[in-house]
Amino acid sequence: MFAAWSRVMRREFLLAYRQRTDILTPLMFFIIVTSLFPLGVGPEPETLRTIAPGVIWVAALLATLLSLQRLFSHELHEGTLEQLLLSPQPASLLVSAKITAHWLTSGLPLVIISPVLGLSLGMSNEGLIITVISLLLGTPILSLIGAVGAALTLGLRGGGVLLALLILPLYIPVLIFGAGAITATVQGFPADAHLSLLGAYLMLGLVLAPWISTLSLRISLD
């Protein structure tokens, strides 16, 4: 099973390398959206520090949303999706490999670049640390939830709009807890409660999302 999981991961990284714009587009969107807010609300440091948690998290959420449609589209267009579901290995295991690769190529770059954007918004060192931790916990949840939506809307006309309408309400708790952790730290309060809730949400997603995504893919193919 580990060999099959590794092969799927290797294939996803190869596809990402060949189509590097799929990786750069969400990252550039994240950078541009975050950089536009100082131009829109003004350069006052206190104002920027106040809005920084929400700006970073909303930008990360929308950037992740941009990359979700390609999660299963290659297999659908190549006709290999049925082979993936009919594999002797558990289909949910292979789907989990695709979700992991999606986070590594789309979510992790956002986490890496976030301290630089936080500095541009005047965040403190403590706020930057919690920003990275909250994104490390939260962006995998965005990929897990997004995989379910991408599987349900696979091949549908107007699937991008339906995908956004379907998963954005499910993203709200992640946004609240992620931005709340940063805000609490900036205001001098502990962020443990918010991070613990993000961790619990992540554990729940790791258990349920691959299985639900596999079931959704079967429904979409039928």
Q: What is the mean pLDDT of residues 22-42?
A: 86
**Residues 6 or more apart in contact with residue 116 via CB below 8 angstroms:** none
Parent domain of 166: 2-221
Q: Residue 146 in contact with residue 63, Cβ under 8 Å?
A: no
| pLDDT tops 90 at residue 165 | no
In whole angstroms, give the CA distance from residue 105 to residue 121: 25
Determine what percent of the chain is predicted with pLDDT higher than 70.
Answer: 96
Please state the domain count of the chain. 1
Q: What is the pLDDT of residue 84?
A: 74
pLDDT value at residue 129 = 94
The pLDDT tens digits for 44-64 are 888 888 899 999 999 999 999
Torsion sign across C-alpha atoms 97, 101, 102, 103: positive
Rg of the chain over Cα atoms, rounded to whole angstroms, equals: 18
Q: What is the pLDDT of residues 108-151, one digit of tens each?
A: 999 999 999 999 888 889 999 999 999 999 999 999 999 998 88
Residues 6 or more apart whose CB falls under 8 angstroms from that of 106 comprise 22, 23, 26, 63, 64, 67, 143
Residue pointed to by tokens 């699937």: 159
Tokens of 54: 């929400």
**Does residue 107 register a pLDDT over 80?**
yes
Of the pLDDT bands very low, low, confident and very high (cuts 50, 70, 90), residue 11 is: confident
Q: How far, CA to CA in Å, does 144 sit from each of 35, 39, 42, 105, 120?
A: 27, 33, 36, 14, 29
Higher pLDDT, 22 or 26: 26
Q: Which two tokens stand for residue 30?
A: 């994240």
DSSP 89: S
Stronger pLDDT, 189 or 74, i.e. the higher one: 189
Helix, strand, coil % over all residues of the chain, rounded to 5 = 85, 0, 15
